[in-house]
């Protein structure tokens, strides 16, 4: 059962076509990761699924209906989005930022309810930011800042979360921290998580489902073992590598060779 799917989607910017007639369904309740080389169209696909980009042809279906024909506020109660490199408003506190996530649940009549307050507190606690709630976002470290943005998406309280490269520019420890947090959200509250990642090995560790995009079309999808093989990595990334079994986590581990191939 898929809540979100792409139906013969053709996407592009200005005159340049990026993605051609791509159809895709992403499994509910799982962590899905889109991978592919730079410029292959994976981020563009994620943007279209988040209705940031209008398709040239085809549709994005959310719960079986065209996402562009549903009221945006209604969509925002089902689907949240963390874009690439978001910039917080000047001077805003962590709590202030997380509160913005409640926007689709508020209306003229019900401005700020106890439920809103409870969800915000929960999101802060989950992301370990309760002690920093009054601090200004610009004073946080990169990892903390990314957690604050994730907390905002969590406060939006949606069954689906889309994240565009949530670990870029973070050091290794902070990357793990963010991915552990997302895994927790997936396991504990059954949220469907769909994200773009660059690191294949992190994708293998955390994804239930991997989608490999190559040259604007779907190259392969399935479990990490099905998708991350020597042949497919070569096809998708034009990269020589060997794939071995991760001795600790029993997932594929990709060792890139680059120019200096052994033997």
Partner 1 sequence: MTPYRFWPVLVWLFGLLVAFGISLMAGPQWSGPLTVWHALWSSSPGDINELLIRTTRLPRALTAMAVGASLGVAGGIMQTLTRNSLASPGLLGINAGGLFVVVSLTTLAGSLPGWVGSFGAIGGAAVAAAVVWGIAMRRRDEAGPLRLILAGAALTALFNAFSQALLVIDQQGLDSVLFWLAGSVSARPLAQTWPLMLLIVAAVLGCGPCLRQWNVLAAGEAVAVGAGVAIRRLQGVSILLVVSLAGAAVAMAGNIAFVGLIVPHLARRLAGADHRRWLPMAGLIGATLLILADVAARTLIAPREVPIGVMTALIGVPFFIGLIRREGSRGG
Binding site residues, partner 1, CB under 8 A: 13-14, 50-54, 72-77, 79-83, 86-93, 96-97, 100-101, 103-104, 106, 108, 111-112, 117, 152-153, 156, 162
Per-residue burial over 186-212, b if 16 or more Cβ lie within 10 Å, else e, is: beeeebbbbbbbebbbbbbbbbebbbb
The nearer residue to partner 1, 32 or 44, going by C-beta atoms, is: 44
Cα(120)–Cα(142) distance, rounded to whole angstroms? 21
Contact 34, 194 (CB under 8 A): yes
Minimum distance from residue 35 beta carbon to partner 1 (Å): 21
User: Would you say how long the chain is, in residues?
Assistant: 263
Largest Cα–Cα distance in the chain?
Answer: 70
Minimum distance from residue 173 beta carbon to partner 1 (Å): 26
Pairing, β 217-222 against β 209-214: antiparallel
Number of alpha carbons in the 13 Å side-chain half-sphere of residue 132: 21
Minimum distance from residue 41 beta carbon to partner 1 (Å): 16
The nearer residue to partner 1, 182 or 218, going by C-beta atoms, is: 182
Minimum distance from residue 82 beta carbon to partner 1 (Å): 7
The nearer residue to partner 1, 63 or 240, going by C-beta atoms, is: 63
The nearer residue to partner 1, 114 or 263, going by C-beta atoms, is: 114
Residue-by-residue DSSP string for 21-44: EEEEEEETTSEEEEE-STTSSHHH
The nearer residue to partner 1, 87 or 261, going by C-beta atoms, is: 87
Minimum distance from residue 235 beta carbon to partner 1 (Å): 31
Cα(139)–Cα(151) distance, rounded to whole angstroms? 17
DSSP category for residue 136: B
* Rg (alpha carbons) of the chain, rounded to whole number: 19
The nearer residue to partner 1, 15 or 259, going by C-beta atoms, is: 15
Minimum distance from residue 127 beta carbon to partner 1 (Å): 17
């Amino acid at each position: 059962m898929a809540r979100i799917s792409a139906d013969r989607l053709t996407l592009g910017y200005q005159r340049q076509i990026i993605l051609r007639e791509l159809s895709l369904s992403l499994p509910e309740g799982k962590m899905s990761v889109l991978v592919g080389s730079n410029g292959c169209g994976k981020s563009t696909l994620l943007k279209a699924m988040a209705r940031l980009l209008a398709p040239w042809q085809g549709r994005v279906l959310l719960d079986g209906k065209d996402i562009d024909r549903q009221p945006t506020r209604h969509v925002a109660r089902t689907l949240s989005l963390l874009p690439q490199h978001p910039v917080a408003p000047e001077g805003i506190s962590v709590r202030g930022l997380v509160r913005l996530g409640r926007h689709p649940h508020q209306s003229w009549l019900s401005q700020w309810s106890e439920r809103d307050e409870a969800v915000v507190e929960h999101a802060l606690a989950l992301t370990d930011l309760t002690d920093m709630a009054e601090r200004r976002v610009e004073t946080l470290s990169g990892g903390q800042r990314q957690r604050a943005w994730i907390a905002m998406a969590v406060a939006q309280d949606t069954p689906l979360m889309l994240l565009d490269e949530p670990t870029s520019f973070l050091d290794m420890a902070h990357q793990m921290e963010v991915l552990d947090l997302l895994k927790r959200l997936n396991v504990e509250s059954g949220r469907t998580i769909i994200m773009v990642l660059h690191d294949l090995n992190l994708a293998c560790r955390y994804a239930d489902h991997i989608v490999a995009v190559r040259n604007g079309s779907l190259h392969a999808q399935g479990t990490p073992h099905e998708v991350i093989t020597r042949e497919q990595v070569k096809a998708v990334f034009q990269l020589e590598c060997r794939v071995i079994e991760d001795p600790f986590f029993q997932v594929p581990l990709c060792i890139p060779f680059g120019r200096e191939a052994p033997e």
